[in-house]
Amino acid sequence: GENVEQHPSTLSVQEGDSAVIKCTYSDSASNYFPWYKQELGKGPQLIIDIRSNVGEKKDQRIAVTLNKTAKHFSLHITETQPEDSAVYFCAASDYKLSFGAGTTVTVRA
Amino acid sequence: DVKVTQSSRYLVKRTGEKVFLECVQDMDHENMFWYRQDPGLGLRLIYFSYDVKMKEKGDIPEGYSVSREKKERFSLILESASTNQTSMYLCASSDRGNTDTQYFGPGTRLTVL
C-alpha cells in the first residue's frame, strides 16, 4: 500500500516568515494529493489539493508543488500569521487516502 | 453548511466493554470513513464504506467492525475494548470518487481503562 512520509514533525516560524512542509510517497499510482489543517479540538479540514496532472497550485498565501518523478510534494505558506498555527497533514490517494504523520506549525508573534 | 457529527467528544470505557461510536453526515455523501489518530502516526484508516451495507477494510481493521444501515450513518464498533485502542477517532465523509474532499467530524477521544 501507499506510504507517506512527512517532514518536519514540528516547525516554528516568526510571524511574517514562510513555512515549508515536505512529503514523499511510495505508490506511483497515486494521483491526488490533498493537504489538511487541524486546529485544536477540531477535525482536519482541507486547505488545498493538487492532482497528478498539475505541477503547482496556489491559493492566496498557500501553494502546493508536486514532483511526480521524484514522488514528492510540498506545502508552502507565505507571510505566516498566528492563525496558521495548527497541525498540517499531507495525504496521497490512489483509491484511498494515506496520511503523513503531521507537522505541528507554531507561528511566533 | 457541511456537517459531520460524532456522538461523543469524550468517552471512557473499561477493558472488555463493547463500544459504539456513531457518526452522522448531512451531505448525502456516498462514502464514509473511520480513522484513528495517534501522535506521530497521523491518521490511519480503520474501515470505509462506499454505500449502504457496504464496507471495506482499511489499514488497521483488527479489533474493529463497522455498520452502515443508512446512508447518513456509519458506526464503529469495538467488540471488546482494549487499552491499546485508547485514541482519537475521526469520522469523515466524501462524495463519489477517491479524489473528492473528505469532511471530518470533530473526533471522539476514547480512553480505555
% of chain B with per-residue pLDDT over 70? 96
CA dihedral sign of residues A40, B85, B21, A93? positive
Instruction: For residues B6-20, give the mean pLDDT.
Output: 96
Which triple of cell numbers denotes residue B15?
Answer: 477493558
- The pLDDT of residue B100 is 77
Residue of B95 and B17 predicted with greater confidence: B17
For A69, residues 6+ apart whose C-beta sits below 8 A from its C-beta are: none
Q: Virtual CA dihedral for A9, A55, A32, A17, nearest 10 degrees?
A: 30
- What is the average pLDDT value for chain B, to the nearest integer? 94
Residues B98, A93: C-beta atoms closer than 8 Å: yes
Mean pLDDT of B73-84: 97
- DSSP, res B83: G
pLDDT tier for residue A96 given thresholds of 50, 70 and 90 = confident
Lowest mean pLDDT among A63-67, A93-97, B28-32: A93-97
The proportion of chain A whose per-residue pLDDT surpasses 90, expressed as a percent, equals 90
| Confidence check: pLDDT of B2 > 90 | no
A83 in B contact zone (CB under 8 Å): no
Sign of CA dihedral A46, A4, B34, B10: negative
Measured between CA atoms, how close is B113 to chain A, in angstroms?
22
pLDDT band (50, 70, 90) for residue B98: low
Distances (CA, A) of B8 to A4, A20, A32, A53, B105: 30, 35, 31, 40, 11
CB contact under 8 A, B43 and A89: yes
Q: How far separated are the first and last CA of chain B, in Å rounded? A: 37
Look at residue A43 and tell me whether its pLDDT is greater than 90: yes
pLDDT tens digits, one per residue of A73-86: 999 999 999 999 99
Candidate from A32, A45, A102 with C-beta closest to B42: A102
Q: Which of B4, B63, B3, B69 is nearest to B33 (CA)?
A: B4
Cβ burial B52-87 (10 Å sphere, 16+ → b, else e): eeebeebeeeeebebbbeebbebbbebeebeeebbb
pLDDT exceeds cutoff 90 at B97: no
Q: Is B99 in Cβ contact with A32 (below 8 Å)? A: yes
What percent of chain B lies above the pLDDT cut of 90? Answer: 88
Q: Which of A33-37, A50-54, B4-8 shows the lowest per-residue confidence on average (mean pLDDT)?
A: A50-54
* Total beta-carbon pairs less than 8 A apart between chain A and chain B: 54
* Angle of CA points A41, B42, B22, to nearest 5°: 55
**pLDDT for position B53:** 87
Using 50, 70 and 90 to split pLDDT, how confident is the model at A68? very high
> Does position B77 have pLDDT exceeding 90, yes or no?
yes
Identity at A81, one-letter amino acid code:
Q
Whole-number Cα distances in Å, B76 to A64, B3, B32, B42, B49: 34, 18, 11, 19, 11
Predicted confidence band of residue B42 (pLDDT cuts 50, 70, 90): very high
Higher-pLDDT residue of A101, A53: A101
